[in-house]
Structure formats: C-alpha cells, structure tokens
Amino acid sequence: MKVCVIGLGYIGLPTALLLSEKNEVIGVDLKKDTVDKINKKTMPFEEPGLDNILKGSGITANCKPVPADVFIICVPTPFDKEVRMADLRFVKSAAESIVPVIKKGNLVVIESTVSPGACAKVVVPILEKSELKVKKDFYLAHCPERAIPGNTLNEMVNNDRIIGGIDEASTKMTKDLYSTFVKGNIFTTDITTAEFVKLMENTYRDINIALANEFAIIAEDVGIDIWEAISLANRHPRVNILRPGPGVGGHCIAVDPWFLTENSTKCKIINTAREINDCMPAYVLHKVKEITKGIESPKITVFGVAYKGNVDDARETPALKFIKLAEKEGFNVSIYDPLVKHFEYPLTGLDDAVKDTDCVVIITDHNEFKHFDYNRLLSTARHKNVLDTRNVVAQNGMFNLVTLGKGKYFD
C-alpha cells in the first residue's frame, strides 16, 4: 500500500517511519530543510529510537503530495489566542493539497487534533472540491495521536488507539492500516466522538495539573510540603493527583482544552483550570521578587525552557511567559537549556548563565538539573538563591533553596 503522510514533525515523521516497515511511504513537508534531511536519512529533531529506523527505512520526502492509496494529515493545529479557538489553517491547507491527487477509493486520515465536528464540517467540503464524494468515492477517519515527546516510539506502538470513521468502511480501513504497527488495543467509534475524546484526555490532565497547582499555593500558606502530601494522597486507590509546576506547556495540554470551549457557553471548570495554569508563571515571578527583594539590578538565571523534562521541545512553554514577565519587571535574564537549540530568546552556556546571578529559577525538570552540585555551581553567583518549581533539587548546602509548594515554615 502506498501511504502519503503530510506533516513530518514530532507526530508525522514517527508515524511515517512506523508505517514504512510494511508500506511504501512518501512524506510531505513544506520545509525544504526537513525534506532534505529526511532524504539524507538525517533526523530533523531528536527523538529516541527514530534515527535508526530512518536510516533503515525506504521512506522518501517531497514538498507536495503525490498520488497514493492513503493520505494521513499530521500537521500542527495552532491555538488562536485572540479568539481562543483552534486555528485550522494548516489542516485546511493540507486537505487542499490533496485535492489534485486524490482518487476514487482513497482513504484520508486526520491525525491532527481538531475541534469537534471539524472533520465533517471543514475537511469534507475541501476534499469534495475534487468532485469525489465522501462515503461514496473516498473514505475519511480521525485517528488522534497518543504519544509524548521523549517516548514517542514506544507510545505509538504500545498505546491503545481510538479510530473514528465517517462510516463503517472508513473505520475498518483505518483500523487495518494502523494494525500494521500498533500493538495496543484499537477502539472504534464515530468521527466526532474520536475528535472529542482526544480533547477530553488532555483537558482532564490540564484540570488535574491546575488542581495540583492550587494545592501547592495553599500548601505554602498552610506551611506544609505539597510534594509529600500529594505522594501520600495518591496512595488512595482512587486518587491520582499530578505534579504542580510553573505552568503547562506543549502542543496539547496547554491548547486542546480551548478547542472544547470555542463553541459552548458551559465550560466553567475548563476555563478556571486554564486560568490557574496560565497564571503560574506570574506566581513564580512573585516568588522570585520576594527572594531578590532589596537587590539592585537583579539577574536571574532560567534553567530549562523546554515545556517538559528531557526533551528539546519548547512549544507553548511556560518559561516564555515567565521570561517576558521578568524582563518587564526589570530583571536581567540569562537562560540555560542543555537540549533546546532554538528559542525566542538567546541561550547561553552554563557558566555564563550562572555567573553573577542572584537567583537560579528551575522551570524544566531536565535530569541534568537533578544532579548538579549547586554548592559548586553557585560559586560564581552574586547571591546563592535557587527557586525550584519542579522539586528536583534534593541537596542541602550553602545556598538558599526555595521550592514551589513547600511552605515558609516547613522544616
């Protein structure tokens, strides 16, 4: 079977590589640099395990779709912050790019996260510009991704998947295709339910994190250690509280809840959770201002701008808002991240980032930050303060350690 995967990013390329083991796969991306790297068997981003698969695969890449049996759309779905809605321009553009090459009997699968109803109301009218009709001439399904950067290969293969077709034939064809590499269970439903389920999953996590963040703020007022409290509470067989932190980032959790709210007036819990998580960078800055009170022209050092630990992905990272707020308040900000290569602000080496700093602020829980000797690391600092928003610093020493969620009176 010939498969054309449109969008060769963090989801599209791994999907294409896994499918290439039993199918002829052509990858499509608008970025010529990405296309050139893939054709040279070079990964355009870091992800464990994929480099070896790419080198041994027969995948080729182009900048435009070519005729195929199956088209899989894996393009980003940005969040339009001004109107708090899903921005479907990339999905629309990808669908339009298929129109000249789609043929009768083809299957189109949307992996991109979309708002409920988008496949039927937005994608179908575009594809039918080909003069082919859905259900009659071509097939359509939604198969939302379930993978996380840093563990993508394992999760794509072993996680359960949801497939929702626009009709039973579309569902069956898509299930047969994904069964070639998915070892987890594949559950089927209708296309709109599949869209909704994906958004539910990430909204649940966003709300859980918001609850953890609120617990952390209250714990500081009460004077207890929220990290210990959460660990103890989670020993209850029906409780699973996630970890607090400086906010929520990534391409899913910080964005997807808004896709559910864009066409509804009954979203109180979702809106509140988003407000709590979006305000965490400001809360972290408030703590920094307390720590550096009285210091003239304070310098702070941000450790980590990736949205989560041990990945090079800085999409929707809470670090960006924190840095912008800090600069607005007059702080001199230096940034160190051992994995991220491209960021809106300059990244510096570790020694330069820490030199003459007044406070190190740990935003991302990279493993490297857990193993630093902070006594030695802060030897060139002007003031030896560390604000740990991820509870990664375990050592004591000749420096002032403040941890998010540990009350002032905690001993």
Catalytic residue among 37, 74, 119, 198: 198
Given a contact cutoff of 8 angstroms between Cβ atoms, the answer to whether 152 and 47 are in contact is: yes
Token pair belonging to 254: 């910080």
Catalytic annotation on 40?
no
Please tell me the distance from the alpha carbon of residue 42 to that of residue 358, in angstroms, as a whole number: 41
Given a contact cutoff of 8 angstroms between Cβ atoms, the answer to whether 10 and 152 are in contact is: yes
C-beta neighbour count of 137 within 10 angstroms: 16
342 class by beta-carbon count within 10 Å (0-12 exposed, 13-18 middle, 19+ buried): exposed
Q: Using CA of residue 207, residue 210, residue 211, residue 212, what is the dihedral sign? A: positive
Phi/psi of residue 215, each to 5°?
-60, -40
* DSSP of 232-243: HHTTSTT-----
Per-state percent for the chain, helix, strand, coil, to nearest 5? 40, 15, 45
Catalytic annotation on 198?
yes
At 84 the three-state DSSP class reads: coil
Catalytic residue among 119, 252, 384, 406: 252
Tell me which residues are annotated as active site. Answer: 198, 252
